[in-house]
Amino acid sequence: MPSSRKLCLIVVDSLRTDMLLRAAAEDLAPNFAALMARGTLIGDCVSAFPSVTPVACSEIATGAGPERHHISGMNWYHRAERRYVEYGSSWEATRTFGLFRTLYDTVYNLNMAHLSHEVETIFERLGDAGVRTACTPFLIYRGRRRHELGLEGLMRRVAVAADFRHAVWGPDELFYGELYASRKVPCRPTLRPGTRDAYSACVGRELIADDSYDFLLFSLPDNDHHTHMHGVGAMRDSIAHADHSFGQLVDETGGMDAFLETHAVILVADHAQTDVDRELPIARALGANWRVLAPNAERPELAELAVSPTARAAAVYALGDGPRRDRTLTSVRDVLRELEGVDLLARVETSNGSPPEAIVERDGAELRFRPGSQQVDRRGGRWDLEGDHSVLGLEWRDGRVTSEDYPDGLARLWSALSAPQAGEVVVSLRAGYECVDWGGTSHVGGGSHGALLAGDSLGPLLLCGLEPGVDDTREQWTLRDVAGVVLDHFGIGDEPELRVAGAAEATR
């Protein structure tokens, strides 16, 4: 039976479990602490791979991985259009690709064109069931209600100059800074990093006062910007800021007791962050040997490679074909193996008519795997393995294969490599390293994320006030589970494919 309670899904960008617990212990996050005291905290929910916001938010909103939702990074190469797609790795990268182009890709194309229409978002599923939905600024918002361009504030001049006139489809109540607002609210619209939590809080108060939703995705992204700038040790301050923003919803309802009488809550991080102190200029390193496609190249047909840095991961695309392409990729892998900072190299190969298999390398060792029957992972996925299991730190516990260093690594790598927009070679970096983006910058001296490693990938998932059977115990939780929990709360049957982890059905 569907719950009579509203549901608030709070997404705190880059939130780490240890820093959340520390902030709560130091009384910097009293509202989150109250939720933890009354709910169930899963401290090791596994993010997507690459563990960056566009990929992770797509996974939260659809319950599917990159092989189905088709979003492969902060930056990826669009084979059909022979260009890079850039979602705003940095202000410098945005300027390099062009503000207007990045605006189109991030705000419009991400939801209306790049996100696969073969998967449905939670806004679409809930809307079809008559559940009133709302969303504060969140990268993935696709729903059933049409919203015209609003054009408020500073973005008005940018949008007019870019001839940006598109309507979008979103939840019943959509608030996306200066660009889209389903109603007039006394809130200063903003999409500038570091200022969005307050906007979300203001909008949330208005929605609560008007009883305007059954499901609210309450996005708090400022923690990500703050940690990128100042490092993991400074995260307590931005957690306190996020807690205060959520507290405004609580206060509008009349306090935590009143809020939880009417609301169930899911608090989740899209990924974590780790400190970085070294740069890896991967495009420049490969550009010493091959013609690497440059942003906005006038003759892209001359390029031999496309390189997509996506924070602490990267993808390399071979732009040729035939035997020369294979030789190029072999040489590219030789160069990448020698780069300080590269942890994992992964690719997919098919030979002699056999099923495709993934090949992942680390420190001269190699592991091959594919969906099969030999080994069962912690989520019930079945895999055939050949080679050195230490490449992914694989261990066997209670008859299941697992990894502390690379959580859910088999399924996440398989999903990333199987995505239509995946590069021929996918790279994950060692601790402390970040790729230089196409704007020539990085977050060295601060924090970053994106790698397959646990430090980038494990974040909190807090379930509070959900109906019995919804907040059940699973051996390993991932972001792919969140959509199913939301749908279950409203009594909407979860589609089987939403539970697919790479190639295998996840068990409960």
Q: Are 196 and 221 in contact (CB under 8 A)?
A: yes
DSSP 8-state symbol, 74: S
Residue in 341, 484, 418 with CA at minimum distance from that of residue 66: 418
Residue in 464, 447, 375, 507 with CA at minimum distance from that of residue 51: 447
| φ/ψ (deg, to 5) at 313 | -145, 170
CA distance 189 to 161: 19
pLDDT of residue 447: 97
6-274+453-505: what CATH class? Answer: alpha beta
Q: Are 481 and 73 in contact (CB under 8 A)?
A: no
Contacts of 240 (CB under 8 A, 6+ apart): 23, 28, 29
**DSSP assignment string, 393-427:** TEEEETTEEEESSSTTHHHHHHHHHHSTT--SEEE
Q: Where are the domains of the chain?
A: 6-274+453-505, 278-448
pLDDT by residue for the chain (508 residues), tens only, comes to 556 799 999 999 999 999 999 999 999 999 999 999 999 999 999 999 999 999 999 999 999 999 999 999 999 999 999 999 999 999 999 999 998 899 889 989 999 999 999 999 999 999 999 999 999 999 999 999 999 887 655 566 666 666 677 889 999 999 998 888 999 999 988 878 878 999 999 999 999 999 999 999 999 999 999 999 999 999 999 999 999 999 999 999 999 999 999 999 999 999 999 999 999 999 999 999 999 999 989 899 999 999 999 999 999 999 988 778 889 999 999 999 999 999 999 999 987 778 899 999 999 999 999 999 989 999 999 999 999 999 999 999 989 999 999 999 999 999 999 999 999 999 999 999 999 999 999 999 999 999 999 999 999 999 999 865 554 568 899 999 999 999 999 999 755 344 333 333 332 2
- The pair of structure tokens assigned to 185 is 């609210």
pLDDT of residue 352: 75
